[in-house]
Amino acid sequence: MAARAENAGIVKAQLGTYRMLALAILAGAFIAMGANFATTVWAGMGKVTVNSGNGIAFTTAVPYGLQRLVGGLVFATGLIMVIVGGSELFTGNCLIPMAWASHKVTTRDMLRNWIVVYFGNFVGSVVTAYLVFLGKQHTFGGGAVGFTVLNIGIAKTSLEFVQCLFLAILCNALVCMAVWLCFSARSNTDKILCILPPISAFVACGFEHCVANMYFIPSALFIKDFDPAFFASVASSFKDNGAILTWGNFLWRNLLPATVGNIIGGTLMVGGMYWFIYLRPSWTGRGALGGVPETHQAGETTLADRN
């Protein structure tokens, strides 16, 4: 698994710029569709009472934890499309430092990948959010979908910087674990099963994923900016009428700390730890994989391990 992760990092870092950008746009769109799926499923599940002319007045008794779990399960569709379909996701590429630490990828190539992929993910996510807005999906369910979109966007822009940072660290530790587990897969079914638990966990726990937030928050902003009548009809349900939902707060209160936290969580908590365990240069002279004998490669078990 460690060798596969390292080799994947080499391949990703050497991709041509245009191919890398196209794959990154796809990944942004895939994650956006997973986020849209989760938003639609969440719509109307919580206890919501809104006095408006759009018919949004309903109360349900679905427990909070169950709501989050269901949303996490369907959100995983996004990463499944990224991994099985093949595309470039910034948060997953936080494992490239494993190849960098082994001096098989240059700093320039790694940063080039991160910058191009991040930009492509942003384009794919925001364009998808705008297409969803043009389809007026926010009016579905008597406006319940739009209310949920706004509720998510306002909640995310209301986070404190440090709070968002730590939620993002935990998030990408789980996302990169999902990617790491996929290196053990032998079929697409294996990959799907590897993805579901970690991704469902991060969504259910309310952690912050920068690429997903490139969809969640712009979706809310498009409603606020381009459908003021709908926004005005539900604004009284939010603190200060949703005034905190702005492009500036999206970029500085959420996207910046989420991005930094995702980098820390992926590179240090997963990539860095597994590089140290399996790929670091050995000072013991016991083999190529950092003290692991050549005949006992990373991810393998022997009879001695079982006894």
* Whole-number Å distance between alpha carbons of 167 and 13: 27
Helix (H, G, I), strand (E, B) or coil at 93: helix
Model pLDDT for residues 117-167, shown as the tens digit of each residue: 999 999 999 999 999 999 999 999 999 999 999 999 999 999 999 999 999
Candidate from 56-65, 123-132, 197-206, 228-237 with smallest mean pLDDT: 56-65
Model pLDDT for residues 15-65, shown as the tens digit of each residue: 999 999 999 999 999 999 999 999 999 997 766 555 545 555 555 567 888
Specify whether the CB–CB gap between 225 and 247 falls below 8 A: no
**Global confidence as pTM:** 0.87
* Whole-number Å distance between alpha carbons of 169 and 1: 22
C-alpha triplet 183, 215, 18: angle, nearest 5°: 60
pLDDT value at position 56?
55
Model pLDDT for residues 68-94, shown as the tens digit of each residue: 999 999 999 999 999 999 999 999 999
Mean pLDDT of the residues in the chain:
89
Domains of the chain by start residue, with CATH: 2-289 (1.20.1080.10)
